[in-house]
A and B are shown apart, each in its own frame.
Chain A
Amino acid sequence: MNIMSLTAVELGKKIKAGEITALEAADAAIHQIEKLEDTYHCYVTVDKEGARKRAAEVQKQIDDGTLNSPLAGVPVAIKDNMCTKGMLTTCSSKILGNFYPTYTSEAVLNLEKAGAVIIGKANMDEFAMGSTTETSAYGVTRNPWNKDHVPGGSSGGSCAAVAAWECSYALGSDTGGSIRQPSSFCGVVGIKPTYGTVSRYGLIAYGSSLDQIGPVAKDVTDCATILETIASYDEKDSTSVKRDSYDFTSALVDDVKGMKIGIPSSYFGEGLDPEVKDAVLAAAKTLEEKGAIVEEFELGLVDYAIPAYYVIASAEASSNLARFDGVKYGYRTQDYNGLHNMYKKSRSEGFGAEVKRRIMLGSFVLSSGYYDAYYLKALRTKALIKKEFDKAFEKYDVILGPAAPTTAPELGKSLTDPIKMYLGDIYTISVNLAGLPGISVPCGVDSKGLPIGLQLIGDCFRENKIIRAAYAYEQTQKRRDCPTVQATE
């Protein structure tokens, strides 16, 4: 048996039971990376030595009883936009090609306290801007289900690494669907928690008011366990929320009797791939058969989510990315003439096309004379979208829909038409605008053999409802590992 075929929780149990050591687990991940990384390119950085050393330390703490978390000794991949002290952190951008942070992000610290062994830093769209992981300055990541297809994005490296067994689980970040969409494309499970649940301290910001870190793993049990480990109230993040409960695993109950599930009819209109539609509706039917009450309803303002999102996220990004100027850290151009020329050349050479596009878009919507018409209007739209969801959650426990309108597109097909790529975020984006939790769970494959994702959306701080629904649904399905990865065994 390949150790990497185990879920994170299964592996953690075996390590605790002494059946597998943390070092063996790390070696198994490294072995898998050596075998498949050339094909899929899930990582920007792989730290074999560091991982082995860390695994040995963790094993000692497990042995002397100081560590007994369910994730102790389990290898993890961290999306490359989370700061890791002394370990290269690039955001998949040339501009941070030489950046070694002086501190570790809070979510990763929480994992480390629980005995996680970091294998490396996962590839992503540059600064999390993109839906395919093709905007990375360090090469594209390929979808393990079919290497001619994208893994989705921006957490494409994290999701592909989980699918390819190149780690037991991963952390991703989700600003407009960046965990849920690639999870859907790679046939894995991913959660975007309620805004404020996981500290953003140390997460290199894209859209500060929308960014959230979340888990990516093989199943719902893993995701709930990981979320329980990384979620915390953090005084260093002013937007962090002190929640009543950080218990997510108690929601792993196979029972949806009486649960009210709403399906927004507008989610199933034009633009949705019929195969995705059928799979998602079949999943709804399954939940209904298990006792849930499923009905369609009208969710308003769906069409306004994408423009509002791109205005807000780009505006915040244009300011967040201003600090990358070649002065303090990161890339500085070779030849320059004076300060302004250094700024211009460093940034022109250091950022990729999609990042530049969003910085320009964001600068435009914030500029004097346009602020009210764009940014302020987008903020109002955001508030109205939240109200629409509030209304829906008065009636429903969970909202069900697809995670993405299609399965994973072929490499090279998306970036040629950015508007079309932006439209692919239609089902995920409003969840970020409203600050809600969402989960993507595999619900079958299309005729090309590519995975389809079911999205369940909950009200703020009601992760447990979507975890419960997802878990109950998962129990009806046979776990579907990536066949090409299995074939290499």
Chain B
Amino acid sequence: MKQYETVIGLEVHVELATKTKIFCSCSTAFGSAPNTHTCPVCTGMPGSLPVLNKQVVEYAMAVGLATNCEITRYGKFDRKNYFYPDNPQNYQISQLYLPICRNGHVDIETEQGKKEIRIHEIHMEEDAGKLVHDEWSDCSLVDFNRSGVPLIEIVSEPDMRSAKEVIAYLEKLRLTIQYLGASDCKLNEGSMRADVNLSVREVGAKEFGTRTEMKNLNSFKAIARAIENETERQIDLIEDGEKVIQETRRWDDNKGYSYAMRSKEDAQDYRYFPEPDLVPIVIDDEWLNRVKDAQPEFRDEKKVRYMEEYKLPEYDADIITLHKKMADIFEKTTELCKNPKKVSNYLMGETMRLLKDKGQEPEDLKFSPENLAKLINLVEQGVINGNTAKDVFAKIFEENVDPEEYVKEHGLKMDNNSDEIRKIVEEVLANNPQSVQDYRNGKEKAIGFLVGQTMKAAKGKANPGIVNQLLKEMLKNE
């Protein structure tokens, strides 16, 4: 059998995190009642005109700079003309002739080492509304809340050869864009969408095969499955002596296969032309430098710095920098309590565990670095013990409580009074003669049980150091 290779290029749409839409001042908030975030502009009312949101340009520039693109200093918007009811003007304002970014690249890690994926261009455009099909009344309704939400489309060159490389590329884009704060990049909510252009060819062939475009991929898993499925489908066609048709296909993740939506012959002529209602986008040195200067530290640099500056193990640095939110919490908390390893332990341990339990993402974290720093300080200063701290942290995680006040209110301060603890220990020893006997018979493990009983009797507040010391002392004495 012949050897084939898969050739993949991606078109990635990213919804930008601006407060307002790209061409009007309506809110971009998600999940409101239909048509409540609308105005004459984003509903395509006659006579309305678009006005460009500068923040969109800045985010697009920032993503372009972070992906090593050339920034187009004199850019324009173009109209893409097509009729569809979710598109109120029946044209989409997009960029064809002079997109804001061109000729970039990002590096991904593969099994064979570092690999460069080239970016053909990044352009800005507006999102469409949403159609709601009401089967009861047999009609379709349009919700224009999403109409005019800003998007960038990142178009790669056909440089990827496997699903793994595609996922690595997407992860890289996602992390970069999240670090920029330009988008939350959630595939399941549609703030990041990827269309996969895929073809196969015999290994060593110079020409590309005929490609298809796959749409409706809502998770990394779906993308990987779709790539494998489409690769097989195309190889089967070629092996059977048939031809791959250039077409757009839609992936059905439940059924695990794709079906053709439209072929190239049906391809629409979008009659692109420069948008006459908008003036050219001129990016001068001053603007470009301002955006450059505001670029954050990205993950790779951050990881190295965490290992050098905070002496974190590589494993910790790797996990903490995987999410911008985690890294932000780490840095702010460390700045406040000057104890990087302790902060890392809380994030890697309790935080991750609670996130997993609750099925949440690091982006959902709500507690403040101030409160985590206070908690760490309370333990360090011996005000509370480790057990109490764990419970208090759960409260911080849930409700972002102030640990100092919480400890005070609930009387959780560690008991350092040896006389009181001595009384409790005496009681515990009296009530557990068997364990006392075991210990004296050389079963040293029995002390653990006695510590536990003492802590329980002290409602967890006793200083564990003092408890241990007293127990040992009193067990020896008698």
CB pair A101–B47 under 8 Å, yes or no, is: yes
Assess whether B43 is interfacial by the CB under 8 Å rule.
yes
- The residue from B44, B49, B91 contacting A238, defined by CB atoms under 8 A apart: B49
Contact residues in B for A17 (Cβ distance below 8 Å): none
CB pair A325–B83 under 8 Å, yes or no, is: yes
The residue in chain B whose Cβ has the minimal distance to the Cβ of A82 is: B47
CB pair A319–B40 under 8 Å, yes or no, is: no
Interface residues contributed by chain A, number (CB under 8 Å)? 43
CB pair A319–B273 under 8 Å, yes or no, is: yes
One of B200-208, B275-283, B358-366 contacting the partner: B275-283
Contact residues in A for B434 (Cβ distance below 8 Å): none
- The residue from B43, B51, B52, B90 contacting A322, defined by CB atoms under 8 A apart: B90
Contact A99/B46 with A316-B276, A323-B88, A375-B273 known, Cβ cut-off 8 Å:
yes
Report B26-74 residues with CB < 8 Å from chain A CB. Answer: 40, 43-52
Assess whether B191 is interfacial by the CB under 8 Å rule.
no
Contact A323/B46 with A238-B277, A239-B277 known, Cβ cut-off 8 Å:
yes
Assess whether B461 is interfacial by the CB under 8 Å rule.
no
The residue in chain A whose Cβ has the minimal distance to the Cβ of B46 is: A204
- The residue from A96, A207, A236, A343 contacting B46, defined by CB atoms under 8 A apart: A96
Q: How far is the CA of A367 from the CA of B268 in the complex (A)?
A: 10
Assess whether B89 is interfacial by the CB under 8 Å rule.
yes
Report A184-213 residues with CB < 8 Å from chain B CB. Answer: 200-205, 207-209
The residue in chain B whose Cβ has the minimal distance to the Cβ of A339 is: B85
Assess whether A61 is interfacial by the CB under 8 Å rule.
no
The residue in chain A whose Cβ has the minimal distance to the Cβ of B278 is: A238
Contact residues in A for B48 (Cβ distance below 8 Å): 201-202
Contact A371/B47 with A238-B52, A322-B90 known, Cβ cut-off 8 Å:
no
Q: How far is the CA of A237 from the CA of B277 in the complex (A)?
A: 8
Contact A238/B51 with A96-B46, A322-B81 known, Cβ cut-off 8 Å:
yes
- The residue from B51, B90, B269, B271 contacting A236, defined by CB atoms under 8 A apart: B51
CB pair B89–A102 under 8 Å, yes or no, is: no
Report A43-93 residues with CB < 8 Å from chain B CB. Answer: 82-83, 89, 91
Contact residues in A for B81 (Cβ distance below 8 Å): 318-319, 322, 366
CB pair B46–A237 under 8 Å, yes or no, is: no
Assess whether A303 is interfacial by the CB under 8 Å rule.
no
Assess whether A158 is interfacial by the CB under 8 Å rule.
no
Assess whether A333 is interfacial by the CB under 8 Å rule.
no
CB pair B47–A323 under 8 Å, yes or no, is: no
Assess whether B299 is interfacial by the CB under 8 Å rule.
no
Contact residues in A for B269 (Cβ distance below 8 Å): 367-368
Contact residues in A for B40 (Cβ distance below 8 Å): 102-103
Closest Cβ of chain A to B37, distance in Å, is 15
Q: How far is the CA of A102 from the CA of B89 in the complex (A)?
A: 16
The residue in chain A whose Cβ has the minimal distance to the Cβ of B83 is: A343
Assess whether A249 is interfacial by the CB under 8 Å rule.
no
Q: How far is the CA of A367 from the CA of B81 in the complex (A)?
A: 10
CB pair B277–A208 under 8 Å, yes or no, is: yes
Contact A371/B273 with A101-B47, A202-B47, A322-B81 known, Cβ cut-off 8 Å:
yes
The residue in chain B whose Cβ has the minimal distance to the Cβ of A81 is: B47
Assess whether B13 is interfacial by the CB under 8 Å rule.
no
Assess whether B401 is interfacial by the CB under 8 Å rule.
no
CB pair B271–A363 under 8 Å, yes or no, is: yes
Q: How far is the CA of A321 from the CA of B185 in the complex (A)?
A: 35
CB pair A236–B85 under 8 Å, yes or no, is: no
Q: How far is the CA of A236 from the CA of B24 in the complex (A)?
A: 9
CB pair A204–B47 under 8 Å, yes or no, is: yes
**Highest count of chain A CB atoms <10 Å: which of B46, B89, B271, B273:** B46
| 0/1 string, B81-105, CB within 8 A of A gives 1 | 1010100111100000000000000
CB pair A328–B90 under 8 Å, yes or no, is: no
Assess whether A235 is interfacial by the CB under 8 Å rule.
yes
Q: How far is the CA of A105 from the CA of B276 in the complex (A)?
A: 19
Q: Describe A's contact surface by its main secondary structure.
A: loop
Closest Cβ of chain A to B138, distance in Å, is 12
Closest Cβ of chain A to B315, distance in Å, is 52
Assess whether B79 is interfacial by the CB under 8 Å rule.
yes
| 0/1 string, A365-376, CB within 8 A of B gives 1 | 011100100010
Contact A103/B49 with A319-B273, A322-B83, A325-B83 known, Cβ cut-off 8 Å:
no
Assess whether B142 is interfacial by the CB under 8 Å rule.
yes
| 0/1 string, A323-349, CB within 8 A of B gives 1 | 111011100000000010001000000
| 0/1 string, B304-341, CB within 8 A of A gives 1 | 00000000000000000000000000000000000000
The residue in chain A whose Cβ has the minimal distance to the Cβ of B269 is: A368
Assess whether A116 is interfacial by the CB under 8 Å rule.
no
Contact residues in B for A91 (Cβ distance below 8 Å): 46
Assess whether A315 is interfacial by the CB under 8 Å rule.
yes
Q: How far is the CA of A89 from the CA of B48 in the complex (A)?
A: 14
Report B109-161 residues with CB < 8 Å from chain A CB. Answer: 142
Closest Cβ of chain B to A347, distance in Å, is 10
CB pair A323–B278 under 8 Å, yes or no, is: no
CB pair B47–A319 under 8 Å, yes or no, is: no
Q: How far is the CA of A7 from the CA of B209 in the complex (A)?
A: 74
Closest Cβ of chain A to B369, distance in Å, is 39
CB pair B47–A236 under 8 Å, yes or no, is: no
Closest Cβ of chain A to B275, distance in Å, is 9
Closest Cβ of chain A to B34, distance in Å, is 14
Contact residues in A for B272 (Cβ distance below 8 Å): 366, 371
**Highest count of chain A CB atoms <10 Å: which of B43, B49, B88, B269:** B49
- The residue from B52, B88, B276 contacting A328, defined by CB atoms under 8 A apart: B88
CB pair B50–A319 under 8 Å, yes or no, is: no
CB pair A238–B47 under 8 Å, yes or no, is: no
- The residue from B45, B50, B271, B276 contacting A103, defined by CB atoms under 8 A apart: B45
The residue in chain B whose Cβ has the minimal distance to the Cβ of A202 is: B47
- The residue from A101, A200, A203, A367 contacting B45, defined by CB atoms under 8 A apart: A101
CB pair A201–B85 under 8 Å, yes or no, is: no
Contact A315/B91 with A82-B47, A202-B47, A203-B47 known, Cβ cut-off 8 Å:
no
Contact residues in A for B91 (Cβ distance below 8 Å): 319, 322
CB pair B89–A322 under 8 Å, yes or no, is: yes
- The residue from B43, B45, B46, B279 contacting A239, defined by CB atoms under 8 A apart: B279
Contact residues in B for A318 (Cβ distance below 8 Å): 81, 271
Closest Cβ of chain B to A330, distance in Å, is 8
- The residue from B49, B52, B142 contacting A237, defined by CB atoms under 8 A apart: B49
Question: Can you list 29 A-B pairs with a CB-CB distance of less than 8 A?
Answer: A83-B45, A83-B47, A99-B46, A101-B45, A102-B40, A201-B49, A202-B48, A203-B47, A204-B46, A205-B46, A205-B47, A207-B276, A238-B49, A238-B50, A316-B276, A318-B81, A319-B271, A322-B83, A322-B90, A322-B91, A323-B44, A323-B89, A323-B90, A325-B85, A368-B269, A368-B271, A371-B272, A371-B273, A375-B273
State the 8 A-B residue pairs at the shortest beta-carbon distance, nearest first.
A322-B90, A366-B271, A208-B276, A209-B276, A202-B47, A204-B46, A83-B47, A204-B47
B-side interface residues toward A, CB under 8 Å? 40, 43-52, 79, 81, 83, 85, 88-91, 142, 269, 271-273, 276-279
A-side interface residues toward B, CB under 8 Å? 82-83, 89, 91, 96, 99, 101-103, 105, 200-205, 207-209, 235-239, 315-316, 318-319, 322-325, 327-329, 339, 343, 363, 366-368, 371, 375
- Contacts A201-B47, A202-B48, A316-B273 known; list 4 others, CB within 8 Å: A89-B46, A207-B276, A236-B51, A322-B91
